[in-house]
Structure 1
Amino acid sequence: MDIAPGKILISSSNMDDPNFDDSIVLIAAYNDQGALGFVVNKIFDRPINELVEFSNSPAFPLYDGGPVDKEHLYFIHRRNDLITGGTQVTDNIYFGGDFKEAIQHINNKTLTISDIKIFVGYCGWDTGELESEIAEGSWVVKEQDEEIIF
């Protein structure tokens, strides 16, 4: 199995977890401890400006990144000027970075939905779990595709 940061998982009809029905997941991190990813195709039921801390921001969409840790926000983006503290996932996609600066750019409208996705929660798999789900046919692994992601 060729699992790596930047790969895309598409849930199959064999998926038996309702959290992942019709889901497209970007793998943002993968190592010997497991994998971390974000569901990129499910919009969260509230935009960022409905969160108290960001009430002065525009109605920027949030995405339901997965069932783990729904108390925190995570983000991926295509802006290498925001990577301080972040990780490069692919040549053009980064995970995390300077969130305060990202919010400033969103507020100034110099960062758009085609540059960044902000997630509530994430998907996580311990060592071997994702490989087992792929082997049983729950996921189809695809190459990275920025058009699907953003």
Structure 2
Amino acid sequence: MNAGIFLQSTPLLDNTYFEHTLIFIAEKNEKGALGFVINKVFPRTINELEQFKNGIPFPLYEGGPVDQEHLYFIHQRPDLIPGGAPVSGNICFGGDFSTAIKGINNHTLTANDIRIFIGYCGWDAGELEAEIREGSWQVIEEAALFGY
């Protein structure tokens, strides 16, 4: 299993945080995996957060239950946002966040280009593979990441 795949929760995860979630795996290495729930919109927009109050309204997503004190992002504009780690195709994880925010506020970047998350999902080495084997997650090769 590599970064860039999507995981759909199965009924085994009903009545948990992960019920009806679609996750994009942004990082996978010998230490484990990191991903983001991509189908749960956060109830506030980024300009409702104190440090971004002068910006435009832009959607935030509930990335996962881990480290909900920080923002994370994925994007498909490495030409406009330097420093991101390639994940798959033209999708990158992270990069220069201040450049990304400037691009959002001047309408150079849209919700079709970037997705910002509060928190993330994390698994230690072998955990995610075990959850897939037990049937908690279904691997989906492709899903719409941006623009829905």
TM above 0.5, one fold? yes
Q: Could you tell me the percent identity over the aligned residues?
A: 58
Contact 2:78 2:84 in 1 (8 A): no
Could you list the per-position Cα deviations for residues 1-57 of structure 1 after superposition, in whole angstroms to 9, with x for gaps in the alignment?
Answer: xx2110000001112561111000000000111000000000011100000110011
**Aligned letter for 1:65?**
G
* Letter aligned with residue 140 of structure 1: Q
What residue ranges of structure 1 are gaps of 5+ in the alignment? none
Could you tell me how far 1:81 is from its partner in structure 2? Answer: 2.3
Displacement after TM superposition at 1:144 (Å): 3.2
Matching residue's letter, 1:105:
G
**Which moved further from structure 2: 15-24 or 67-76?**
15-24
Deviations, residues 49-107 of structure 1 (Å, cap 9, x unaligned): 00011001111000000000000000000101245332000111000001100100100
Corresponding position of 1:107: 105
Q: Which residue of 2 aligns with 1:64?
A: 62
Structure 2: state its 5+ residue gaps.
none
Map of 1:1-150 to 2, 5 A cutoff? 3-15=1-13, 18-145=16-143, 148-150=144-146
> 2: CA distance between counterparts of 1:50 and 1:92?
29
Per the normalisation by structure 2, the TM-score is 0.94
Q: How many residue pairs get matched?
A: 146
Letter in 2 for 1:37: G
Q: Tell me how far apart the structure 2 counterparts of residues 31 and 67 of structure 1 sit (CA, whole Å).
A: 20
Q: C-alpha distance in 2, partners of 1:141/1:82?
A: 30
Structure richer in strand, relative to its length: 2
Instruction: Classify the secondary structure of the residue corresponding to 2:34.
Output: strand
CA–CA distance in structure 1, aligned partners of residues 60 and 121 of structure 2: 15
Instruction: Name the aligned partner's letter for residue 27 of structure 1.
Output: I
1:127 and 1:136 mapped to 2: Cα distance? 16
* TM-score, length-scaled by structure 1: 0.93
2: CA distance, partners of 1:116 / 1:17: 30
